[in-house]
Amino acid sequence: MTISHLRLGVNIDHVATVRNARGGNNPDPVRAALIAQEAGADGITAHLREDRRHIVDTDIDGLMDALKIPLNFEMAATPEMQAIALRHKPHAICLVPEKREEVTTEGGLEVAKQDNALALYIAPFIAAGSRVSMFIGAEKAQVEACARIGAPVIELHAGAYADAWAEGRWADRDAELSKITDMAAYAHELGLEVHVGHGLTYDSVGPIAALPHVAELNIGHFIIGEAIFRGLGPAIVEMRKHMDAAREGLA
């Protein structure tokens, strides 16, 4: 079965990165989110990091107030973030691993080795009605652990696939794509909703968008970069076109 509408979540973290480079209010991530909404994004993704290097708490307040489309609140599984998420009760919560020294989210979450702790951690979100997703590598043990703890959604980390594509390592790209393909199908079979994200571009999005069991893509860095050249709305519309072209014929 193909999931007919492939959703696009636009990650606006790097609008905040540019703002924070100078301090002050410009450019405003909430304004970017509203433009993304207007351009056809199905959701907005924002990662509130422990060090607040891009998105800050007032951005989350502003996004919750202003958006009509769902907010996907990305966060590490810490007590501080749990309290913030429970205060806002966003549509979606995506748990990611977080290292202070990393430039971006490098790997997937280790769910398989901390089943019990994560099951307890996500229970209040599920009770509060937020859709919980776990950002994981495309590995069977992680997918199975997500199903075991009752997380309804997984997001498969596309970073290795995207890097291989960017560096022209075609055999690696194909190997990574086939891991994502297999794990998307397996997760779907286990009843999980499947998302994919990290590092996707106009070039690399097609083969991922064509996977019939994938329901949502979350894309940020490339879109925000492309917005410098085309404007944010047109950059999103173009991404949508690439996704739709890849999806055509699957329905």
How many C-alpha atoms does 5 have within 13 Å on its Cβ side?
6
Shortest Cβ 249–ligand PXP spacing (Å): 25
44 torsion bin: left (phi>0), alpha (psi -120 to 50), beta (else): beta
Active site residue 198: yes
Instruction: Assess 204 for contact with ligand PXP (CB under 6 A).
Output: no
Q: Which of 14, 54, 74, 195 is catalytic?
A: 74
Instruction: Assess 104 for contact with ligand PXP (CB under 6 A).
Output: yes
Active site residue 74: yes
CA distances from 170 to 157, 161, 179, 207, 228 (A): 18, 10, 14, 13, 29
Only one of the segments 36-44, 123-131, 140-148, 196-204 lies at the binding site for ligand PXP (rule: CB under 6 A); that segment is 196-204
Asked if residues 54 and 88 have their Cβ atoms less than 8 Å apart, the reply is no
Instruction: Assess 96 for contact with ligand PXP (CB under 6 A).
Output: yes
> What is the CB neighbour count within 10 angstroms for residue 147?
17
Active site residue 47: yes
Q: Which of 14, 54, 157, 198 is catalytic?
A: 198
Binder of ligand PXP out of 105, 142, 181, 204 (CB under 6 A):
105
Only one of the segments 35-43, 144-152, 180-188, 216-224 lies at the binding site for ligand PXP (rule: CB under 6 A); that segment is 216-224
CA distances from 226 to 8, 34, 39, 194, 239 (A): 16, 17, 14, 26, 10
Q: How far is it, in rounded angstroms, from Cα 94 to Cα 245?
A: 27
Instruction: Assess 199 for contact with ligand PXP (CB under 6 A).
Output: yes
Active site residues: 47, 74, 198
Residues that bind ligand PXP (CB under 6 A): 11, 47, 74, 94, 96, 104-105, 135, 155, 197-200, 218-222
